[in-house]
């Protein structure tokens, strides 16, 4: 049984003050929720405050949105895994489509980040997904396979168990368009099959695969109850405590 994992990706939103007030309301909203792992990935500037407020909470885990794979040195503007670990960050989002498209991250760079995350005992959330043009050309499965094989090169089966995959069709991110539950399930089943090819079926059956792309309280339940959908990576709808909590409740056993 895979425990659902629902993560907030706040992107370049939320000041420290907004983070504090979010957490105050959010904690009340999720008081009765059980059976779901919750992750919040704020911007770097709010990580220390959120870490302090969470105080090692088992219920809400701290995530980061990015990091650089080198240990330290002359990398202006970058943040290392050690710096994240010092703040008790547990998960790190790697290879988000915005990092790929805007900041030029390739599968090779993403792979270095996945490997560096594991070397520092951070759990990567590896994002993969096709663009609209790729889907319209019928290439979505091929794109997923390339991104998974590239991003996960050299990752051991043991490390795969500490890796979360987020299937995020680029055309559904921040657009209000959601993949249908059938499209998402199909992509997730394919993702699991690729992972089985990289390791073995027993390992692939344990790897959690999140769906991301305009997840909202209204569509969360159906998506989260597909057989191969093990959680969600939520952008826009995670900025508001109640809507993020409703998505979590849709996947939990409240
Ligand atoms: C995301 O960026 O990871 C995401 C899924 O965003 P949204 O929920 O806003 O589509």
Mean pLDDT of 50-74: 97
* 93 Cα to the center of ligand 1, angstroms: 12
DSSP 10: -
Q: What pLDDT score was predicted for residue 105?
A: 98
DSSP H/E element including 48: helix 44-54
Q: What pLDDT score was predicted for residue 252?
A: 83
Residue located via tokens 């959120």:
50
Interval 242-253: pLDDT, tens: 999 999 999 986
pLDDT-derived band at 178, boundaries 50, 70, 90: confident
Residue located via tokens 């889907």:
135
Percent of the chain beyond pLDDT 90?
96
Is the pLDDT at 254 greater than 50? The verdict is: no
This prediction has a pTM of: 0.97
* Known catalytic membership, residue 168: yes
Which is nearest to 167 in space by CA: 183, 152, 150, 153? 183
* Known catalytic membership, residue 118: no
Computed over every residue of the chain, the mean pLDDT equals 96
The dihedral region occupied by 215, where left means phi > 0, alpha psi between -120 and 50, and beta the remainder, is beta
Lining ligand 1 with CB less than 6 A are: 9, 168, 173-174, 212-215, 233-237
Query: What is the bridge-based pairing of β-strands 164-167 and 231-234?
Result: unpaired
Where exactly are the structural domains of the chain?
A: 4-252
Q: ∠ CA 126-124-120 to the nearest 5 degrees? A: 150
3-state secondary structure (DSSP) of residue 127: strand
Query: Which residue among the candidates 37, 134, 140, 168 is catalytic per the annotation?
Result: 168
pLDDT-derived band at 196, boundaries 50, 70, 90: very high
How crowded is the C-beta side of 12, counted as CA atoms within 13 Å?
2
Residue located via tokens 């997840």:
215
Interval 225-239: pLDDT, tens: 999 999 999 999 999
Q: What pLDDT score was predicted for residue 1?
A: 84
Mean pLDDT of 20-46: 97
Which is nearest to 45 in space by CA: 81, 85, 16, 75? 16
Q: If 0-12 CB within 10 Å is exposed, 13-18 middle and 19+ buried, where does residue 77 land?
A: exposed
Helix, strand, coil percentages for the chain (3-state, nearest 5): 45, 15, 35
Which is nearest to 168 in space by CA: 197, 131, 221, 195? 131
Q: Which of 13, 99, 214, 232 to mutate to test the pocket of ligand 1 (most atoms within 8 A of CB)?
A: 214
Mean pLDDT of 2-9: 98
Interval 117-135: pLDDT, tens: 999 999 999 999 999 999 9
Choose which CATH entry (3.30.565.10, 3.30.70.270, 3.40.50.300, 3.20.20.70) describes domain 4-252: 3.20.20.70
Q: Which of 127, 211, 213, 219 to mutate to test the pocket of ligand 1 (most atoms within 8 A of CB)?
A: 213
Residue located via tokens 């650089």:
68
Mean pLDDT of 173-199: 95
Nearest CA to ligand 1 atom 6: 235
Axis-axis angle for helices 16-29, 241-251 (nearest 10) = 40
Q: Are 8 and 237 in contact (CB under 8 A)?
A: no
What residues are paired with 33 via a beta bridge?
none
* 204 Cα to the center of ligand 1, angstroms: 25
What tokens appear for 181 in the block?
Answer: 């539950």
Q: What pLDDT score was predicted for residue 192?
A: 98
Q: What pLDDT score was predicted for residue 253?
A: 62
């Amino acid at each position: 049984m895979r425990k659902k994992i629902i993560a907030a990706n706040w992107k370049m939103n939320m000041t420290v003050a907004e983070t504090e007030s979010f957490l105050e309301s959010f904690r009340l909203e999720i008081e009765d929720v059980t059976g779901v792992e919750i992750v919040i990935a704020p911007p770097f500037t709010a990580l220390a405050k959120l870490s302090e407020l969470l105080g090692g909470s088992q219920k809400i885990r701290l995530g980061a949105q990015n990091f650089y794979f080198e240990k330290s040195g002359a990398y202006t503007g970058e943040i290392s895994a050690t710096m994240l670990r010092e703040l008790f960050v547990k998960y790190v989002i790697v290879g988000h489509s915005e990092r790929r498209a805007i900041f030029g991250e390739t599968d090779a760079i993403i792979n270095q980040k996945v490997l560096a995350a594991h070397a520092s005992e951070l759990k990567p959330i590896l994002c993969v997904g096709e663009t609209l043009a790729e889907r319209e050309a019928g290439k979505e499965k091929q794109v997923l396979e390339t991104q998974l094989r590239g991003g996960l090169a050299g990752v051991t089966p043991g490390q795969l168990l500490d890796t979360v995959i987020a299937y995020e069709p680029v055309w559904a991110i921040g657009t209000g368009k959601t993949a249908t539950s059938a499209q998402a399930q199909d992509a997730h089943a394919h993702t699991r099959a690729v992972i089985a090819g990289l390791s073995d079926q027993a390992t692939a059956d344990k790897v959690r695969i999140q769906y991301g792309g305009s997840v909202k309280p209204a569509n969360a339940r159906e998506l989260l109850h597909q057989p191969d959908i093990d959680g969600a990576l939520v952008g826009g709808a995670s900025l508001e405590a109640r809507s993020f909590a409703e998505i979590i409740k849709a996947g939990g056993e409240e």
